[in-house]
Amino acid sequence: MNDERILVLNNHQIDKTRWDETIDKSYNGLIYAYSWYLDLVSPGWHGLVSEGYKAVMPLTWRKKFGFEYLFPPFFTQQLGVFSRQHLNSEHIKVFIEKIPARYKFIDINLNSENMFLPQGFKFTKNINCTLSLNKNYEEIHNGYSQNLTRNLKKANGQHQLQIVGMKEANALIKLFRENKGKKIKNLKDKEYEILSNLINEAIERKMCEVYYAYHENRLVAGAVFLKTRHRITFLFSAVNTEGKHFLAMPVIVDRYISMHQKRDLIFDFEGSNNPELARFYKSFGATENIYLKIKKNNLPLPFRLLKK
């Protein structure tokens, strides 16, 4: 893989069938990198493509004050370079150096297989938590923390939650907006519409499962799980005060894990840098994975100072 063989393609130039085949067959493929997903979170995205679509890198961009810049879209934890063959630091370097100079500000999250620190970039390390489901449920359950085990026993014995599979997530998004969403100011109607469209599209493609938790016929929690051939991504969840009291979220996750035991799947908790969330994810026996955020500011003055 050398520099001359990597093409910079605008959206209309990308063969999206071949692109999706590459993501599907990549050893590090993630659902965020499929063309249909990118179309929803970053309409008009561009791409770097190696010869024969052996490796690809999405460029999710916007334009502000006349300058084009790269950014990490909502609901898209990791992007970077995806490849059918194992990547080394030289491969990543070639792709990063091929990012066009017209993007005056670069802020992107690479994936956990892109552990390369390009010169001229600032970087931060982010935490993701994953769990292998390639074991029987008893083995997985033995990896749970004592506190989680006690909570599940209490919830299953006392609260009698009803976990139901659904074909939509509108009520779940509403539950989120009425609870935790009130504290998240950068999620507005546009972002919630994107989320709804993502879930609906994934359901249509049979790449999504949604579960609601009810207590005495009242919705108290729910979760959205995205599915690819080798990975389950815990995309979104919501819980109210009642659901927290009844320990609904641990029950949903545990139930989902039990349904997918003994499969060649990675359960991706999708985070977290938040210590409280990371502690919850690790209570299931999940391990930490690092992925990098890289930044470069080539904006002219005074815009460069403003972006700092």
Contacts of 132 (CB under 8 A, 6+ apart): 265, 266, 267
Same domain, 159 and 230: yes
Same domain, 217 and 107: no
Helices (H), 205-302: 241-245, 248-259, 275-282
Same domain, 144 and 258: yes
Domain count for the chain: 2
235 within 8 A of 225, measured Cβ to Cβ: yes
> What does the angle CA 100 – CA 83 – CA 30 come to, to the nearest 5 degrees?
95
Tell me, what CATH number does 8's domain have?
A: 3.40.630
Same domain, 66 and 150: no
For residue 86, being part of any structural domain is answered with yes
Same domain, 253 and 139: yes
106 within 8 A of 76, measured Cβ to Cβ: no
From residue 57, give the alpha-carbon distance in Å to each of 51, 83, 203: 13, 9, 25
What is the pLDDT, as a whole number, of residue 116?
87
Name residue, tokens 């085949």: 21
33 within 8 A of 82, measured Cβ to Cβ: yes
Same domain, 82 and 169: no
Per-residue pLDDT tens, the chain, 308 aa: give them: 544 589 999 999 999 999 999 999 999 999 999 999 999 999 999 999 999 999 999 999 999 888 999 999 999 999 999 999 999 999 999 999 999 999 999 999 999 999 988 888 999 999 999 999 999 999 999 999 999 999 999 998 887 899 999 999 999 999 999 999 999 989 999 999 999 999 999 999 999 999 999 999 999 999 999 999 999 999 999 999 999 999 999 999 999 999 999 999 999 999 888 999 999 999 999 999 999 999 999 877 666 655 55
For residue 275, being part of any structural domain is answered with no
Same domain, 204 and 257: yes
Same domain, 210 and 162: yes
Within its chain, how far is the Cα of 35 from the centroid? 15
Tell me, what CATH number does 229's domain have?
A: 3.40.630.30
Q: Residue 237 belongs to what domain range?
A: 134-264
Q: Whole-prediction pTM value?
A: 0.94
Please write the tens of the pLDDT for every residue from 228-263: 999 999 999 999 999 999 999 999 999 999 999 999
Within its chain, how far is the Cα of 44 from the centroid? 20
Number of Cα atoms under 13 Å in the Cβ half of residue 142 = 5
Please write the tens of the pLDDT for every residue from 168-216: 999 999 999 999 999 998 999 999 999 999 999 999 999 999 999 999 9
For residue 29, being part of any structural domain is answered with yes
From residue 4, give the alpha-carbon distance in Å to each of 60, 88, 281: 22, 18, 43
For residue 272, being part of any structural domain is answered with no
What is the pLDDT, as a whole number, of residue 259?
97
For residue 274, being part of any structural domain is answered with no
39 within 8 A of 197, measured Cβ to Cβ: no
Same domain, 39 and 72: yes
110 within 8 A of 79, measured Cβ to Cβ: yes
From residue 138, give the alpha-carbon distance in Å to each of 134, 173, 241: 12, 33, 30
For residue 284, being part of any structural domain is answered with no
Contacts of 306 (CB under 8 A, 6+ apart): none
Same domain, 184 and 112: no
d(CA 31, CA 23): 8
What tokens does 191 get?
């972002």
Dihedral sign, Cα of residue 5, residue 10, residue 11, residue 15: negative
What tokens does 195 get?
């989320």
Same domain, 142 and 71: no
What is the pLDDT, as a whole number, of residue 299?
76
Look up residue 155 and give its DSSP letter: I
Among residues 114, 155, 145, the alpha carbon closest in space to that of 280 is found at: 145
Instruction: For 56-67, give one letter per residue: b (16+ CB within 10 A) or e.
Output: bbbbbbeeeeeb
Same domain, 155 and 249: yes
